[in-house]
Amino acid sequence: MAHEIQHVSTPAGGAHAAGQSHVPAHGQHHGEYHVHVVPPWLLIAVFVCLVILTGITVGVTYFDFGRTLNVWIALAVAVAKATLVALFFMHLRWDSPFNSVVLFAALFFVALFIGTVILDSKEYQINFVPPTSTSMAP
């Protein structure tokens, strides 16, 4: 895939950047500024994929694969869509990897939260039948 990479010089480039790069991790040439411009065909392609996936996820509901499988299919399609949006619309594909780490950390902790609370779900009793005052004291 060929991507347009724009090399842009900052107006007062050389003078500034010279040296004082605060970010040891970044090895770019000083005074140049890498801007990744997403080409139109890619944007359209991602959009078309998203529409198709939306169609799939709606279409799937007309078939019964069983309660569990249907949920997982729906979630898998949603994850695929979300990945497309994050990678291309949100530029993660070309971004500093640490931003992806942040996203994954957030998803990990959401999963941890939900997973652990569900672990306890056998204990939640929303069909609880409260004893009435007929039979119990105040």
54-93 residues near another protein, rule: CB under 8 A: 54, 57-58, 60-61, 64-65, 67, 70, 74-75, 77-78, 81-82, 85-86, 88-91
Interacting positions 26-55 with another protein (CB under 8 A): 26, 28, 30, 33-35, 37-38, 40, 43-44, 46-47, 50-51, 54
Contact 52, 59 (CB under 8 A): no
Please say which residue, 1 or 19, places its beta carbon nearer to another protein.
19
Give SS3 for 48: helix
Give SS3 for 61: coil
Please say which residue, 1 or 131, places its beta carbon nearer to another protein.
131
Binds another protein (CB under 8 A): choice among 1, 2, 24, 41: 24
Amino acid identity, residue 9?
A: S
CA dist., res. 26 & res. 29, Å (int): 9
